[in-house]
Chain A
Amino acid sequence: EIVLTQSPGTLSLSPGERATLSCRASQGVSGTYLAWYQQRPGQAPRLLIYGTSSRATGIPDRFSGSGSGTDFTLTISRLEPEDFAVYSCQQYGSPPLTFGGGTKVEIK
């Protein structure tokens, strides 16, 4: 099974700053089969990115995804107040599909 390690565990930033979140796989992810989700407390998880870099419907363009092989990145270009949340990556190239442990983006 592919283990996804997300770093940092917590990112403390101010609104308007740029956030860079890392997701590293224990072995290469097949194709571009990596997704990112946002979780706010008490809310349903929300799909942000699929296929490494494709934004889901309704996701603003300040969110972008990149990477290949074992290293993937989610970038939020300018943090808005509603972006402070937990972000998780998921690989779906090799069964069983697996998730990372999450990165919390908190207000500094």
Chain B
Amino acid sequence: QLVESGGGLVQPGGSLRLSCAASGFTFSSYSMNWVRQAPGKGLEWVSFISSSTSTIYYADSVKGRFTISRDYAKNSLSLQMNSLRVEDTAVYYCARDPGPYDSVYWYFDLWGRGTLVTVSS
């Protein structure tokens, strides 16, 4: 399973670090993603990191402000969010790509329940 944490209320321009704890599967074998959903809106892909960490992608909307990383020892995925904007307000989900090792399928077969990030003054 995947369990996100670290969400909360932050002022515009502030920072927040989200974490996602993985269990029940071999975390190091899978690429991982962050996907978010603003209130009343559809899902939006945010960032990708390959199983080997050799490949990282970001949505244009967060490029230069967010940093994705993973810790194999802790079976954990992270998202460091800086220079937060009101439009970053959303539930953030971590999601697994089912492709083994560095094969990437680009859909998501395992999701967490999400953590809410609210950016407001």
Chain A residues in the interface with B (C-beta under 8 A): 33, 35, 37, 42-47, 50, 56-57, 88, 90, 92, 96-102
Known: A35-B107, A50-B107. A96 touches B45 (CB 8 A): yes
Interface size on B, residues (CB 8 A): 20
Chain A residues within an 8 Å CB radius of B110 = 44, 47
Known: A44-B113, A45-B93, A45-B111. A92 touches B42 (CB 8 A): no
**How many pairs of residues, A versus B, come closer than 8 Å at their CB atoms?**
53
DSSP class of B's interface residues: helix, strand, loop or mixed? loop
A44 touches B106 (CB 8 A): no
Q: Closest chain A residue to B58 by CB distance?
A: A96
Chain B residues in the interface with A (C-beta under 8 A): 2, 41-45, 59-60, 93, 95, 105-114
B43 to chain A, nearest CB (A): 4
